[in-house]
Structure 1
Amino acid sequence: MNNILIKSATLIFPDHDKHGQIVDVWIDNGIIKDISLHGEKTYEQVTVIDGKNQYLAPGFFDMNANFGEPGLESKETLSSGCAAAVAGGFTGVAVQPNTNPALHSKGEIALVVNLSKDNLVSVYPVGAISKDRAGNDLAELYDMKLAGAVAFSNGNKSVQQAGLMSRALLYSKGFGGLVLSYAEDSSIANNAKMNEGIMSTYLGMKGNPNLAEELMVTRDLYLADYNDAPIHFSTISTRGSVELIRRAKRKGLKVTCDVAAHHLVLTDELVAEFDSNYKVNPPLRTLDDIEALKEGLQDGTIDAIVSQHTPHEIEFKKVEFEIAKNGIISLQTVFPLLLKAGLSLELIVQKLAINPRKILRLALPTLQIGDNANLVLFNPTESWTFDLNTNNSLSVNSPFYNTTLTGKVNLVVNNKKIYVV
């Protein structure tokens, strides 16, 4: 099915002259051959994809996905992670350095780049800020950049040493690198299991306060300002963090940030059943925090939305809540969750397809004759069941497993390859 006509789809493509209109798009071997208003032209000898009541947009891009390869392939391989990504509408993913060994030198970065070649989903490795992600010594940032790293992060281990973070910001600034900060003061979070608040008190569980995140956001904003360097905050989750970043943007700091999709719909009250699939980090917060995050998306304080896809083997999740690992698989559920959160389709496309690429300085998908197609076709009202038959991840740690979701991806095109449900 290399010669297709996507017929009668509504285009959501910012800055395109046919944005918001119903179009027919002809794609042959992954190349845009023609784009016209619906019914304006006729096409012969093509496979027709009915886009009625569906929307055609740039392929989604995830800035925060965890794949296990290298070293943790039983959680997720690059191949299975890409399969989950494409089913969720993603044509690009930035993979975190939470592997074994960590992605902390040019060797590991080159390995990921080479293993993920010729895939429909373009994979972009994120190099570790510190060697082994231990937070002590600066990793080979420039060498990793040359090998293909698009940014630098310590993954799910926040950099506790202010001096190390400051050097990372200053050094990467010199060659156009970007540091991603996962903001958590470990001395305040203190290995807590859930959000600190009414629910943690009720359950008698150690809580991780908003303060742990906000202290680190404050510190890293000061460091970025001092070094006149750009910084991006990954998976912010509190009202205070939103306000701190909002103020920093008003002051002119080079700061961007993202939020995980599940933090827009799930609250800490769900932990009451001790289902470890609700155990994530940052922890699920309160309804007040959710409202602040949505406000941040609307006013531009929060630039992007991510999956924070974190697969685990069953033995790490089907245990007591206290000892279960943090994280859920989420690449295939991001779009339905954003619809559930009440976000408009245009806002979703902006935060999930356009802005992530802008932040990482990657080329934006275009839709002109002769271009390589980079597209997703989705139906926001179609329901589907996330279960054994539809899950493409190797893992099943999701609170939405075996549930019906609304918002379905039906076609993805990228790298001259086509995925059709």
Structure 2
Amino acid sequence: MNTILISSAKLVSPHHPLDGEVVDILIEKGLVSKVSSKVELNDQKAVVIDGSGCVVSAGFFDLHANFGEPGLETKEDIVTGTRAAAAGGYTAVAVYPNTNPPLHSRSEVALVVNAAKGSAVDVHPIGAISKKREGKELAEIYDMQTVGAIAFSDGNHAVQQAGLMSRALLYSKGIDALIISFAEDDSVAGGNQMNEGEVSTYLGMKGKPNLAESLMVSRDLFLAEYNDAPIHFTCISTAESVELIKNAKKKGIRVTCDVAAHNLVFSDEEVQGFDSNYKVNPPLRTKKDIDALLQGLSDGTIDAVVSQHTPHEVEFKNVEFQIAKDGIIGLQTTLPLLVRAGLDAEAIVQKLAIAPREIVGQPVPALTSGSAANLVLFSVDEQWTFDAQSNRSKSSNSPLLCAELRGKVKAIINNGLLVENK
């Protein structure tokens, strides 16, 4: 790597002595060499990045992304997925086991780890809780942990058997692993298409009630408390879930949770146009739920925000709403959505860079002299167009495609590599 100087950027790093100050950051051979109000540069070959009006922080870490590799590479492979992640400001992503075969043994986990080597974005596999993600028999959790799995989830298959989830929590506690719950009771959700409420009634569509999520959150909180084990809920979407988790934290249960960025901005009213790019799971909820989610972010009940990046080929989305697959691509649009939701730079860094790493026990990059350079430079004010030219994903299933967005990632640095967004 060449010598790099990031000049005149506001540093957001809560435990750094210069937090909140406008600084220059000098990076040499992949290491942070100097951080100060002014750095004199003698290297004529150095890359200089103007950070005026921008924020520099530890690189973002996505706790919930879906790549297709292995088996579903036509949706997204690790190369295109990490390109999209880099463009979105991420220096690390946790990839879910929604693959074919799923990440349910050491061989699939090791494949992902090895395929991602040499990238500017670290890829951390989330191993499956159960074999084939069928919810019947525990997968080899310890084996997967030894080759790089940082947590365990059945992805978009919620674990329906309480006994299996209880055993998973107990087993994971013994090896200091984290179980991630995707909360949906299938018997209540019924495979329906959107949120149950006034809009679904108006459209004549069967809806998924909030109860399908809150029942499962309640169950898994009981199981975590019973086993005295940590649990993380991903992509919560309802006011009831926020309240349940808030009370559990007060009670001392070891629980954390995240929310998908699109659930903070879009409501079920978007579905009235039957645009399948608004079809996600959990579904877009009501404005009352959005208000509760934003309040949960503000008061610390919700620890992190995720992209829930879920790419699909055009033939799975450019169809009638009822038969379209759930999910949108989100790695490049999470920052703009948080800006739209009203989060300031400090909250964005906390929810995208710091808390996600703390949840899965990964070190937070220090941005101090001598440390490995792992950072993102971004603007909360600059506007850009998310279109076919700027999209780095292999897929294009996003309601924000061709939209003018505010909040742009300028560059990331990680693993001795610089990736700039021109």
TM-score, normalisation: structure 1:
0.99
- What one-letter code is carried by the residue in structure 2 that aligns with 1:271? V
Is the partner of 2:180 in helix, strand or coil?
strand
Is the partner of 1:381 in helix, strand or coil?
strand
Shift of 1:43: 4.3
Aligned equivalent of 1:294? 294
* Distance in 2, Cα, partners of 1:43 & 1:346: 32
Aligned equivalent of 2:21? 21
Matched pairs, number: 420
Shift of 1:256: 0.3
CA contact (8 A) 1:30 1:418 kept: no
Shift of 1:209: 0.3
Shift of 1:42: 4.9
Structure 1 unaligned runs (5+)? none
* Distance in 2, Cα, partners of 1:53 & 1:3: 22
Q: Does 1:153 align with 2:153?
A: yes
- What one-letter code is carried by the residue in structure 2 that aligns with 1:190? G
CA contact (8 A) 2:76 2:393 kept: yes
Aligned equivalent of 1:258? 258
Shift of 1:263: 0.4
CA contact (8 A) 1:411 1:419 kept: yes
- What one-letter code is carried by the residue in structure 2 that aligns with 1:131? K
Stretch deviating more after TM superposition (40-49 or 162-171): 40-49
* Distance in 2, Cα, partners of 1:356 & 1:42: 34
* Distance in 2, Cα, partners of 1:330 & 1:273: 20
Q: Please list, as runs of the form range in 1=range in 2, the aligned pairs for 1:217-366 lying within 5 A after superposition.
A: 217-366=217-366
Is the partner of 1:395 in helix, strand or coil?
coil
* Distance in 2, Cα, partners of 1:395 & 1:40: 41
CA contact (8 A) 2:26 2:39 kept: no
CA contact (8 A) 1:138 1:168 kept: yes
Aligned equivalent of 1:369? 369
CA contact (8 A) 1:303 1:351 kept: yes
Deviations 1:265-314, CA, capped at 9 Å, x for gaps: 00000000000000000000011000100110111100010000000000
Aligned equivalent of 1:144? 144
Shift of 1:47: 2.3
Shift of 1:374: 0.5
Aligned equivalent of 1:211? 211
- What one-letter code is carried by the residue in structure 2 that aligns with 1:162? A
Deviations 1:52-94, CA, capped at 9 Å, x for gaps: 1111011000000000000000000001000000000000000
Aligned equivalent of 2:60? 60
Q: Please list, as runs of the form range in 1=range in 2, the aligned pairs for 1:101-120 lying within 5 A after superposition.
A: 101-120=101-120
Deviations 1:120-159, CA, capped at 9 Å, x for gaps: 0000000000000011111000111111100000000000
Deviations 1:336-391, CA, capped at 9 Å, x for gaps: 00000001110110010000000000111011111110010011111111111100
- Seen in structure 2, the aligned counterparts of structure 1 residues 99 and 36 have a Cα distance that, compared at 3 Å, is same
Shift of 1:165: 0.3
Deviations 1:5-63, CA, capped at 9 Å, x for gaps: 101111111110000001011112211111111x3645442222111111101100000
* Distance in 1, Cα, partners of 2:219 & 2:140: 24
Stretch deviating more after TM superposition (190-199 or 362-371): 362-371
Is the partner of 2:187 in helix, strand or coil?
helix
Is the partner of 1:126 in helix, strand or coil?
strand
Stretch deviating more after TM superposition (21-30 or 208-217): 21-30
Aligned equivalent of 1:50? 50
CA contact (8 A) 2:25 2:39 kept: no
Which 4+ stretches in 1 moved above 2 angstroms?
A: 39-47
Deviations 1:320-343, CA, capped at 9 Å, x for gaps: 000000000000000000000001
Q: Does 1:79 align with 2:79?
A: yes
Is the partner of 2:205 in helix, strand or coil?
coil
- What one-letter code is carried by the residue in structure 2 that aligns with 1:414? N
CA contact (8 A) 2:119 2:415 kept: yes
Aligned equivalent of 2:126? 126
Aligned equivalent of 1:378? 378
Aligned equivalent of 2:413? 413
Aligned equivalent of 1:189? 189
* Distance in 2, Cα, partners of 1:204 & 1:70: 38
Aligned equivalent of 2:174? 174
Structure 2 unaligned runs (5+)? none
* Distance in 2, Cα, partners of 1:126 & 1:44: 42
- What one-letter code is carried by the residue in structure 2 that aligns with 1:221? L
TM-score, normalisation: structure 2:
0.99
Shift of 1:3: 1.1
